[in-house]
Amino acid sequence: SAWLKSRCIYHTIVFISNILYFMSVCGITPVNNKIVGGQDTPAGSWPWQASLQESGSHVCGGSLVNKEWVMSAAHCFSSTSPNGWSIILGRQNQQGSNPNEVSTTVDEIVLHPAYDGSTHDNDIALLRLSSPVNFTDYIFPICLAASDSVFHKGTESWVTGWGNANEGDPLPPPQTLQEVEVPVVGNTQCDCLNGVGSITDNMLCAGALEGGKDSCQGDSGGPMVVKHNSVWVQSGVVSWGYGCARPNLPGVYTRVSSYQSWINSQISTDQPGFVEFTSSGVDLYNNAKSKIFMA
C-alpha cells in the first residue's frame, strides 16, 4: 500500500507539473480569465490572435504558436513568397490606436505539401516571423490539439476574427476583433450537409445548425479554440464553407490534431505546446477523426 501511495503521489506531481508547464508556455489569457452573430472582444481576450496583412491590408487571421511562428490557412496564399506580408500581434482594432500591438515581417511561408485547393484538404500553413516576439499580457501563444484529441458533437468552441459580420455584407467588416461561440458538428453529419465526400478526416466542423453564428470572409486562417482545464487549445483553423451562417451548413475547419507531426517537423526548436483534448459525451455522427466561400 505504501508503494501504491507513492505511485499515486508521483502521478499527481507529474500531472500538476504538466499543467504548470503548459500554463507557462501556451494557452493562457493573462488579462481576461467579424464573425457572424458575434460580439466585440475585450482587449487581451485572445492574445494569440494574429492579423495577416498584405501590402498593409488585413487578408487573413492566424494564431501565434511560439515566439517566432504563426499558423494560418494555406488558401490565404497564392505563393510562398513572404514579400509584402506582415503579421500584427496584440491588435484589438484594425483602425485607431493599438498600444499593445507588435508588427513584424515574414521570413518564410510553409504550405502543407499535400494542400489541395480543389478539395480544401490539408488547408494549413506556417509562417516564420522575421524576428522573435516577446510575450506580454496581449501577445501569447495558443496550445495546439495533440494527435489523439477527440472533439465530440456539441463541443463548445470559440472562433475569433475581423471578417465580415454578414454574408455578402456591403458594409466594411467590424474593426474590433469579434468572437463567437459555436458547437462542433460531427463529421458524418457535416459531410451529409455540405455534400457527401466533401469532409475529410483532416477537417472539423462547427456551427449552429439553426444558422446565425459562423466565421465569414476575412476570418480565414484564424483559430477555433476550446477550453481544457485552465488552458485554451486550438482545435481548428478557419478553412471553408458555403456562405456564412446559413442554416444546416456548418463552417469547416482544418483539424489541427491531424498535423502534430508535420508541425513539429517544420518547427525544430521551441516546439509548440500540444495538449490532448477529449470532450465528454458520445458523438453519434462522427466516424472519423479567405475561408473559401462558395455560393
pLDDT tens by residue, the chain, 295 residues: 554 444 444 444 434 444 444 445 799 887 654 345 555 777 788 999 999 999 889 999 999 999 999 999 999 999 999 999 999 999 988 887 888 999 999 999 999 999 999 999 999 999 999 999 999 999 999 999 999 999 999 999 999 998 766 656 555 666 889 888 999 999 999 999 999 999 999 999 999 888 666 576 667 999 999 999 889 999 999 999 877 768 888 999 999 999 999 999 999 889 999 999 998 765 544 444 444 444 3
Torsion angle, alpha carbons of 279, 281, 284, 288, to 10: 20
Residue 201's contacts (CB-CB under 8 Å, 6 or more residues apart) are 187, 255, 258, 288, 289
d(CA 148, CA 70) in angstroms, rounded, equals 22
d(CA 224, CA 185) in angstroms, rounded, equals 13
User: How many helices (H) and strands (E) would you count in the chain?
Assistant: 3, 16
Angle at 204 between CA 78 and CA 62, to 5 degrees: 45
Read off the C-alpha cell for 156: 463548445
pTM listed for this prediction: 0.83
Q: Are 230 and 275 in contact (CB under 8 A)?
A: no
Give, in order, the Cα–Cα distances in Å from 171 to each of 78, 174, 262: 26, 9, 39
d(CA 292, CA 171) in angstroms, rounded, equals 20
d(CA 288, CA 295) in angstroms, rounded, equals 27
Half-sphere exposure of 201 (CA within 13 A, CB side): 8
> Which residue is associated with the grid cell 481544457?
228
Q: Are 36 and 214 in contact (CB under 8 A)?
A: yes
Catalytic annotation, residues: 75, 123, 220
- CATH for the 39-274 domain, from 3.40.50.460, 2.40.10.10, 1.10.3720.10, 3.30.465.10: 2.40.10.10
Residue 95's contacts (CB-CB under 8 Å, 6 or more residues apart) are 175
d(CA 114, CA 123) in angstroms, rounded, equals 9
Read off the C-alpha cell for 207: 456551427
